[in-house]
Structure 1
Amino acid sequence: MKTVLISGASVAGPALAYWLRRHGFTPTVVERAPAPRPGGQAIDVRGVAMEVVARMGIEAEVRRARTRMRGMSTVDGDGNETWRSTEMTFSAGRLDSGDVELLREDLTSLLYERTRDDVEYVFGDSIETLEEDEHGVRAGFERGESRAFDLVVGADGLHSNVRRLAFGEEGRFIHPLGTHLAIFSADNFLNLDNWQVWYREGDAGYGIYPVRGNTEIRVTLGFASEPPGHDYGDAERQKRLVAERLSGLRWETPRLLKAMWEAPDFYFDAMAQIRAGRWTKGRVALLGDAGYCPSPLSGQGTSLALVGAYVLAQELGRAGGDHTKAFARYEERMRPFADLNQALATENPGGAASEESIDRAKNAISLDAG
């Protein structure tokens, strides 16, 4: 039975652990956070990724957890509505689609609950070193004792630690898209009723939508800029930067910035893609955002993670644990799919990709390819 160390317990990591168990592997998931991470924006499960969810047996739960938006508006700086739709939203696309929008934390919770009884989770730790030989990989940890595994998978996001250790520094792979986003939650002081509101002036703006039965709002603040060289662990500095860039906006900006300073789940990062010539090296593989992040601007990061997890585990199972063969097939099958979905973020700078492009990209892979 092959042992696999997975770094990251968001979406890709637990999904991979689920499928590896079903192919006879023994996965261990290590996560720097002390527990599954709360907060985050609404994410989409689209196209073939919905089939992955169905095969996991959690489609009903995913659909129950979906957001319930009735539509959306755009407003000007005085709060006057300039456009509205009851057919789509910027965050989810067409409301009559079979795709599902839900909160990231709800999906990660479902995946964790689905796997926690038969997968080893190690929270509050991180991989510090990787030493590979012909028999496997010895992983050194920041807190725990070093352990040997047959394979290692980096499912640890845009700023992947595994990618840095095994493939090289982040700068070789990251491609900023010229935008930064901040995401946080707050009380629904705008009294929104399953309705999104978006406001933009110049190169800055924000979107607001209610969640949790309209008791909370999730806020996405964004602005165009070059990478500021911020410290990803310095939330106070990040908040100052966001407040500085959005302070000239009107409407509800002062109240939103005040809520940002008080938010317990503030997240900030550059919108960027990971473009790597290869996602596997020796006994190490990259999965999801760690290998082929399309950026939230594509709306497809979650779907790529779910499909990638399924395909990687499937190929390892088919190859009888021969990772060299399995990794080659994983890259062969996933790369065209990843390329099409990454292209969604750059097709229409400053706006959404076309419905035709989204429909083509979200279904551009077969789960049962031989």
Structure 2
Amino acid sequence: MAHDPRILISGASIAGPTLAYWLVRNGFRPTVVERSPALRPGGNGVDIRGSSVRIAERMGVLPALRERATDIRELTFVDAADRRVAGMSTRIFNADGDIEIMRGDLAQVLYEATADDVEFTFGDSIAAITQRPDAVEVTFDSGEQAEFDLVIGADGLHSRTRNLAVTPEADALHHLGVYFATARVDAGLGRPHAVTLYNTPGKVAGVYRSGAHDGATAFFAFREARVLDVDHRDENAQKALLSTYFDDRAWQVPALLEQATADDGFYFDAVSQVRLPAWSSGRVALVGDAGYCATLLSGAGAALAIEGAHLLATELAAAGGDHRIAFHRYEQALRPTVLRAQRSVRTSSSMLIPATGGHIWLRNQLTRLMVLQTLASRVYRPVAVRAA
């Protein structure tokens, strides 16, 4: 491999910029390509905890992350009349020093920490990958072609890199029987410093109102065992589908739905995990949700993306750029943590989206008895940080 290997990273959200940051500091030449024309704002709250906090500190971005922390203090469950029926402090989910931040804010901070040292190309994407023994030939949607030593897919749940070079999406995604949507809404629809959730059997609608932001985020989720025939890129069809499932007039559902479906940052998808027998193929590897999405219900996606990106850069440096050794060590070290995070989703799903009226009642009782808090606080354990 070349003295300063060229590495193409597809995706500029969380894993991509983090990986680029650590690759530069280990003598590699990363380039990041992002399909969106600019960084995507908004999104749900994500957790930076354990090892990912220490990695952020070493990147020098910890003060910026703490400044933008959400300051969510309580998870509150309400009835149709907006009366509080159960709840818990969010402190049980996080250890001292952990940070909750909006996904868009995290992506912005990571980009700003990396942009001076790394070439970013927005509004383009990988169209084709051809692997040779000594390099990877890449054709972009723009028609441009380039050659790299390695290609890393950090392009999320519906990773094009994974589809082209590792595993087809149909074999990678495992539907967990839940669909969800998020969008920006007026802050007045939520309680300050709280996530407020209204349940009916198999459904939840809610508002996430950060203490550090002017607006709020609507959240919808519903249980559906079938794989619905809706394209993840067809926003109009997604909005129509969501309106069909949330057609009741209770609580603040109509107002939330009206504002959410009018938001240009509306996001809808199936709750799916990425489960692969291997996270790489030849000179192409995956990091973050592209390789091992645990879903937003795990509360571990952002931390796994940061830890995975740091670990991959570390192993490439330790192996002197030998991707075969590095990819194997990276996967061997991180896979146990990923499996624990993916298994935790059952607890989160039962808590947030009880399937029946009886399950809603039981969830509320367990919450009052502190039983559910104890279970929820154990869902994720981070991987140890190796020195880069």
Length-normalised TM-score, structure 1: 0.94
Q: In the superposition, relative to structure 1, how do residues 355 and 20 fare at CA in structure 2: closer, same or farther (>3 Å)?
A: farther
Q: Residues 84-163 of structure 1: matches in 2 within 5 Å?
A: 84-85=87-88, 87-88=89-90, 93-94=92-93, 97-163=96-162
- Indicate if the aligned counterparts of 1:47 and 1:359 stay in contact, CA closer than 8 A: no
Match of 2:75 in 1: 72
The 1:72–1:279 alpha-carbon spacing in structure 2 relative to 1, beyond 3 Å, is: closer
Q: After alignment, is 53-62 or 123-132 more displaced?
A: 53-62
Structure 1 pair 360–95 and aligned structure 2 pair: CA distance change class (3 A)? closer
2:8 alignment counterpart = 5
Q: Does 1:180 align with 2:171?
A: no
Deviation, structure 1 residue 130: 0.4
Contact 1:31 1:126 in 2 (8 A): yes
Where does residue 229 of structure 2 map in the other structure? 229
State whether residues 13 and 155 of structure 1, in contact with CA within 8 Å, keep that contact through their aligned partners in structure 2: yes
CA distance in 1, matches of 2:168, 2:108: 31
Give distance in 1, aligned partners of 2:213 and 2:16.
30
Counterpart position of 2:195: 196
Question: Where does residue 44 of structure 1 map in the other structure?
Answer: 47
- Residues 337 and 151 of structure 1: is their aligned pair in 2 closer, same or farther, counting only changes over 3 Å? same
- Contact 1:201/1:249 (<8 A) preserved: no
Describe the shift of the 1:222–1:348 C-alpha distance in structure 2 as closer, same or farther (beyond 3 A): closer
Tell me how far apart the structure 2 counterparts of residues 33 and 47 of structure 1 sit (CA, whole Å).
30
Per the alignment, residue 255 of structure 1 pairs with 255
**Structure 2 contact 76–196 (Cα < 8 Å) conserved:** yes
**Do 2:77 and 2:198's aligned partners in 1 also have CA atoms closer than 8 Å?**
yes
- Structure 2 residue aligned with 1:16: 19
SS of aligned partner of 2:71:
coil
Q: Residue in 2 aligned with 1:166? A: 165
Aligned to 1:366: 384
Structure 1, residues 139-183: CA drift from partner, whole Å, max 9, x if none?
Answer: 000004100000000001111100000123211111111111100
- Report the residue type matching 1:367 in the other structure: V
Measured at CA, do residues 357 and 191 of structure 1 come closer, stay the same or move farther in structure 2, by a change above 3 Å? Answer: closer
- Whole-angstrom distance in 1 between the partners of 2:245 and 2:120: 39
CA distance in 1, matches of 2:146, 2:49: 37
Whole-Å separation in 1 of the counterparts to 2:211 and 2:348:
32
Cα distance change on mapping 1:196 and 1:291 into 2, 3 Å: same
Q: What is the CA RMSD across the aligned residues, in angstroms?
A: 2.0
The Cα of 1:135 is off from its aligned counterpart by 1.6
**2:387, 2:52 → 1: CA distance?**
15
Q: Which residue of 2 aligns with 1:273?
A: 273
**Structure 2 CA distance for partners of 1:213 and 1:328, relative to 1, 3 Å:** closer
How does the TM-score come out when normalised to structure 2? 0.89
Equivalent residue number for residue 315 of structure 1: 315
* Partner AA of 1:362 in structure 2: R
Partners of 1:304 and 1:70 in 2: CA distance: 23
1:358 is displaced (CA, Å) by 5.3
Pairs aligned (count):
365
Alignment of 1:299-310 (within 5 A): 299-310=299-310
SS at match of 2:192: coil
Structure 1 portions without partners, runs of 5+: none
Q: Distance in 1 between matches of 2:347 and 2:77?
A: 22
CA shift at 1:70, angstroms?
A: 3.2
Task: Name the aligned partner's letter for residue 146 of structure 1.
Answer: Q
Q: Name 2:57's counterpart in structure 1.
A: 54
Kindly indicate whether residue 225 of structure 2 is the aligned counterpart of residue 207 of structure 1: no
Report the residue type matching 2:27 in the other structure.
G
Higher helix share: 2
For 2:117, give the aligned amino acid: D
CA contact (8 A) 1:191 1:214 kept: no
Q: SS of 1:273's equivalent?
A: strand
